[in-house]
Structure 1
Amino acid sequence: MRQSKESAFREFAEARMGHLFRSACLLTGGDTHLAEDLVQETLGKMYAAWGRVSRVGNPAAYAQTVLVRCYLGHRRRKSAGERPSGELPDRAGQSAGDATLRMTLVEALRGLPPKDRAVIVLRYWEDRSVTETADALHVSSAAVRTRSTRALARLREQLQDSVGELAAP
């Protein structure tokens, strides 16, 4: 019995790890080390509760919710502001096309407050509804709509014409 639960969790973790990591990278503004930590923390919490979680209708959505909560919990810690370096090494060059566009978007996301970033990632990256996003963040639907409107306006202000130039063929 225990063996089958462990193998079921292992299959789940292997199938979802990449998606969780990509979402965590967006939440953290491109901090891959923190993203890896968040994914490990998420999977650890999922493993501890796997008996309950495996009976849930959609454990993948539950894992995304746990990831967002781990991220928001990390942001509340005093040590969350510590950074080993202010600059990202080995930035993509202008000829990278899609990579440059992604880096520009990640840098713009990094400029948003953590809760706004979480709303944008859940609504537009994870393609969740307003209600699902509100449930994941424990806020009202009106708060999600307000935060997403303001966050998108901030992103537009930060990006101005740079996305159009980068996305042009």
Structure 2
Amino acid sequence: MSKLIKTDPIVARNFYLEIPKYKATVILQSVNSLTVEMQVTSSTQVGQKGIADHAKTVGVSAGLTPEVEMTRMAPQKASEDKIWQWMNRIRNTGFQTRTADRQDMKLHLYDSLNKNIIGQFTLWSAWPFKIVTDGLDSASSEAMKEVITFCCERISRDI
């Protein structure tokens, strides 16, 4: 047994999206771009001997607004689906206040037995702005999928 590796790696196989306000748990097939980054700004000054001195620091905003794509099987009835209802409400009426229809969502990662949470991300003030449905093919036997793109104000890794 290796003395360097103390725990099992996270196997990204069992994961679910929880949207508490809508009491919705979404079973996902994949998640792309859980990117946590900061804006970097740089400056250059030339010293007395003509040597350039470069400095980098955190920019105007400490974080950039990420977008996250999540793939799931398409629901049977979009009209009864919480995410479709949420998306259509925003598309039809816009935001009525700064916090309206923005939700903190949690992405839970479970162990291989699907019993214990081994990882968790929070998407702060998220909302869906794009849903792309798979292309349709009469020769395919695969379930139809949707890729939902959420934007959020930041992402944190909690566990």
TM-score tier by shorter-chain length is: under 0.3
Instruction: Report which of the two structures shows the higher radius of gyration computed on alpha carbons.
Output: 2
The structure with higher relative contact order (CA 8 Å, sep 6+) is 2
The structure with the largest strand share of the pair is 2
The structure with the largest helix share of the pair is 1
TM-score by length of 1: 0.22
